[in-house]
Amino acid sequence: MKPVIALVGRPNVGKSTLFNRLTSSRDAIVADFAGLTRDRHYGNGRLGKREYIVIDTGGFEPDASEGIYREMAKQTRQAVAESDVVIFVVDARAGISAQDHEIAQYLRRLGKPTVLVANKAEGMTQGLQLVEFFELGLGEVLPVSSAHGQGVRSMLETALEAIPGLPDLDDEEPEVETGVIRLAVAGRPNVGKSTLINVWLGEERLVAFDLPGTTRDAISVPFEREGQKYELIDTAGLRRKGKVFEAIEKFSVVKTLQAIENAHVVLLLLDATQGVTDQDAHIAGYILESGRAVVLAINKWDAVDAYQREQIERQIETRLAFLKFASLHLISAKKRQGLGPVWKSIAQAHASAMRKMSTPVLTRLLLEAVAFQAPQRSGMFRPKMRYAHQGGMNPPVIVIHGNSLEHVPDAYKRFLEGRFRKAFDLVGTPLRIEFKTST
């Protein structure tokens, strides 16, 4: 599982600036909480081979007793609780404030690994001005400049090293194919995830089985349906209450992100009565970035009229256009309508994500595509495609070798993608095409 880093500190110390440095995500996931001036942001980052999740928090006043500040403090506490290490940001230029002392006290009591960082330290003679931050009782202070990038990398190394029990990447064993489809049901709060899961788990066709070595402290539910084994990965703090599963935390972005990473197939659930919201689009974007196979289902179809139906179908076409490769289902978990075909799409998406494509077949398809329509000349360069091989699974990657391939326009790449998708019947999985130019 990817380690989680939380950025904490009072407003204006530079947390968002640092967040942007630490994340490469095109689009951070935003958890919007009504009434907050600043939302929590979630993003992905990478240091060498090590990937991590960063949570940015709003301004934090631990003792805030009312209204918006109290809610912000609550959100920050949850982000800290969900993290493996905290980066506590102070302002090197402004010096220590009373608020910094309060936050430090809160973090010390918590005992979570914490790295103290003095931001805006560009051009400062190290040491002298930073001595005062030792008062916070959190050990050494690392000077960084988020705006200029100085010190950020070594700070990140320090933060990751502070996480106990983080496995060495070189020790991680490659995944073995077990035939079990790991499935995550993702979606905003209240779209109907627990309702759907309870309907599923109540089905007679579904048989529980024991899965050895179940993922650490996450609840996952192994079951078999019509001869296919599945492992349902917990996204929302699912807890068993008697025979019924309920989502107690209701919604945890970190759990959702980790479940997406660990799944083969993500069923993204939307709520027909709410349309496609920003948060839906953010989660969808994250799924795409993670490369996981995806099936879309719009729940509560029973509760909308013809006008709303048309409305939401149009929204999907525009706002979720980047998931065009996914199958779409209109369902009602509550009324148990439309659920059967969802299983078919899940199996199809999994099979597509794991498809094996041989070099001779890929190369033949490539050369046929080029014969049908060659890539355009770009100035002096005429891209020449020679052969193709599979570079990975889940998601499938096709590597195309040739000359001057850096000049291939995006439109042509999409043309090739369409041909490969059709030939290999790839539905529900992203397909990545990479070019390797030899001269």
Closer residue to ligand GDP in complex, CB, 192/285: 192
Distance of alpha carbon 6 from the chain centroid: 16
Q: How far is CA 78 from CA 92, 142, 217, 275, 330, in A?
A: 26, 25, 18, 28, 34
Residue pair 366/351 in contact (Cβ under 8 Å)? The answer is no
9 is in an annotated binding site: yes
- Identity of the residue, 11 or 222, whose beta carbon is nearer to ligand GDP in the bound complex: 11
Q: At residue 187, what are phi and psi to the nearest 5 degrees?
A: 160, 165
Taking CB under 6 A as the binding criterion, the range among 43-51, 190-198, 358-366, 410-418 that sits at the site for ligand GDP is 190-198
Instruction: Please provide residue 64's backbone torsions phi and psi, each rounded to the nearest 5 degrees.
Output: -55, 130
Among 302, 381, 417, 423, binds ligand GDP (CB under 6 A): 302
334 binds ligand GDP (CB under 6 A): yes
The response to whether 188 counts as a known ligand-binding position is yes
Q: Does 43 bind ligand GDP (CB under 6 A)?
A: no
Nearest distance from C-beta of residue 189 to ligand GDP, angstroms: 5
Question: Any known ligand binding at 165?
Answer: no
Q: What are phi and psi of 271, to 5 degrees?
A: -110, 115
Stretch that binds ligand GDP, among 4-12, 221-229, 401-409, 413-421 (CB under 6 A): 4-12
The CB density around residue 109, as the number of other CB atoms within 10 Å, is 9
12 in a known ligand binding site: yes
Size of the site for ligand GDP (CB under 6 A): 31
Q: Which of 17, 129, 215, 363 binds ligand GDP (CB under 6 A)?
A: 17
> CA-to-CA distance for 103 and 113, rounded, in angstroms?
14
d(CA 214, CA 231): 9
Site string for ligand GDP, 141-170 (x = CB under 6 A): ----xxx-----------------------
What single string gives the DSSP state of each residue in 117-162?
Answer: EEES-TTPPTTGGGGGGGGGSS--EEE-BTTTTBTHHHHHHHHHHT
How far apart are CB 88 and ligand GDP at their closest, in Å? 12
Site for ligand GDP contains 332 (CB under 6 A): yes
Of 84 and 271, CB closest to ligand GDP: 271
3-state secondary structure of 231: strand
Instruction: Give the residue, chosen from 250, 314, 344, 422, that forms a contact with ligand GDP under the rule CB under 6 A.
Output: 250
Q: Is there binding between residue 11 and ligand GDP (CB under 6 A)?
A: yes
Please select the residue that binds ligand GDP; options are 4, 5, 13, 362, rule is CB under 6 A.
13
- Rounded Cα distance, 260 and 269, in Å: 13
| Distance of closest approach, residue 40 Cβ to ligand GDP, in angstroms | 12
- Within its chain, how far is the Cα of 359 from the centroid? 31
Round to whole Å and give the CA distance between 219 and 239: 8
Tell me which residues in 87-126 interact with ligand GDP (CB under 6 A).
119-120, 122
Task: Find where tokens 């102070």 sit.
Answer: 90
- Among the listed residues 300, 350, 401, 407, the single contact to ligand GDP using CB under 6 A: 300
Question: Does a cis peptide bond (omega within 30 degrees of 0) precede residue 395?
Answer: yes
Using the minimum distance from each CB to ligand GDP, give the nearer residue, 9 or 395.
Answer: 9
Spatial distance between the Cα atoms of 40 and 71, rounded to a whole number of angstroms: 12
Q: Which stretch binds ligand GDP (CB under 6 A): 105-113, 191-199, 308-316, 376-384?
A: 191-199
283 half-sphere exposure, CB direction, 13 A CA radius: 31
Write out the binding residues for ligand GDP, residues 369-408 only, by CB under 6 A: none
Given phi > 0 = left and psi -120 to 50 = alpha, else beta, which region is 242? left
User: Residue 247 interacts with ligand GDP (CB under 6 A)?
Assistant: yes
Note whether 252 binds ligand GDP by CB under 6 A: no
Closest CA to 346 of 356, 336, 354, 334: 354
Distance CA 385, CA 367 (A): 8
- Least CB distance to ligand GDP at residue 235 (A): 9
Q: How far apart are CA 288 and CA 279, in angstroms?
A: 14
Query: Does 15 sit near ligand GDP (CB under 6 A)?
Result: yes
| 67 three-state secondary structure | helix
* Stretch binding ligand GDP (CB under 6 A), from 10-18, 216-224, 317-325, 340-348: 10-18
Summarize the annotated binding site as residue ranges. 9-16, 56-60, 119-122, 187-194, 234-238, 299-302
Summarize the annotated binding site for GTP as residue ranges. 9-16, 56-60, 119-122, 187-194, 234-238, 299-302
Which residues bind to ligand GDP, rule: CB under 6 A? 9, 11-17, 119-120, 122, 145-147, 187, 189-195, 247, 250, 299-300, 302-303, 332-334
